[in-house]
Amino acid sequence: MALQEEIDDKRREIKPDGYSMSIGEWISLYDDGEIEIHPEFQRFFRWSNYQKTSLIESILLGIPIPPVFVSQREDGVWDVVDGLQRLSTIYEFVGKLKDESSQLLPSLALDGTKYLPSLVGKKWDDPNDLGNSLTQAQRLIIKRSKIDVTILLRDSSPLAKFDLFQRLNTGASVATPQEVRNCILVMHNRRMFNWMQSLSEDPAFQACLSLSDRSIDEQYDMELLLRFLVFRKIDESKLKSIGDISVFLTDKMIEMAQQDYNYIQEEEAFKVTFEILKEQMGSDSFRKYDKVKDRFTGGFLVSAFEVIALGIGFNYEKLKETTVDIKKLVQHVWLNTNYPSWSGGGTDAKRRVPKLIPLGRKVFKYD
């Protein structure tokens, strides 16, 4: 009975409803401010013009569109949990989509397709170019087409929409795990998201990471910041039970977003840590130390980050009051006989982190 009880208990936390809505009704919801598509998400979910055109083509051809999932807030507004790209494309095509500054974006111009090559250059309704606009009849086809909606009602579990968002979007080609986390954080605690985004752009932090443009585009710097915030003060006894690192980071992020978070202290720890590293190590901070050549080589290593950044971050209050040869301590990390076996290839975070974080705290401890 244990399994059935668990099933029954969790099913009671999720209260769904659903029905079909015309695209015209979806447009009216957006016009009236009754649906929140979170324009911040546009940075994380990237649809090409081809994908956008394919959606409009499917609607015109009568091909069913997958349902949209929304969560009903206390004020009755719907938060989009899944379907952002579809709705944003529709709103962009009809000339209503706004950016994060509430500025109207240009109306979408379509590409030609295999089945509808004459779509090339078409817009919803351009008074300056009627020849490249849809006709009234074509616009009505779109407005009368239906997209199903599944609604998580407001008396569902508060965490249900975040869990659903993660399940529906994790693994999608358009979003990395951290991009999905960013979206969850925007929905749950926009203040924390804005604070973290600002910290991730800190010049000292960026200089020490020396990441590729692609890694930054995929929000890897935000993930590293989250790792710093999650693991900096964590009780070492909890490290052995972290399980899947991606799930652990998401769960801890949500916990942080629900708490009365100490932004001031955590920001100080972060900035002191990376100012120290920038001054003494710069872009060598998390590169491999070659003892023979007596220099740092290669690219960024997350295992080095977990020892060095978190070790300094744990001890930052004492380190900021004195002058310590951080470079020499970093070299000691690489010369530690245990470090290669704890951080080498094939060692996943579940096994690596419980050993590296205590090591870093010990190496950078200042008495």
Q: What is the pLDDT of residues 255-278, one digit of tens each?
A: 999 888 999 999 999 999 999 999
Q: What is the pLDDT of residues 51-93, one digit of tens each?
A: 999 999 999 999 999 888 887 888 888 888 778 889 999 999 9
Domain count, the chain: 2
Is the torsion defined by CA of 266, 268, 271, 275 positive or negative?
Answer: negative
The answer to whether residue 2 sits within a structural domain is no
Same domain? 149 vs 191: no
| pLDDT band at residue 156 using 50, 70 and 90 as cut-offs | very low
pLDDT higher than threshold 70 for residue 158: no
What pTM did the predictor assign? 0.71
Same domain? 230 vs 144: no
Q: What is the pLDDT of residues 82-94, one digit of tens each?
A: 788 899 999 999 9
Q: Which of 41-50, 199-208, 209-218, 296-305 has the lowest mean pLDDT?
A: 41-50
The answer to whether residue 74 sits within a structural domain is yes
Return the pLDDT at 166.
60
Same domain? 118 vs 201: no
Output the CA torsion 247→305→206→277 (10° steps): 150
Same domain? 181 vs 165: no
**Residue-range definition of the domain harbouring residue 270:** 177-363
The first and second tokens of residue 282, run together, are: 């710069």
Same domain? 185 vs 76: no
Q: Which DSSP helix (H) or strand (E) runs through 268? A: helix 263-280
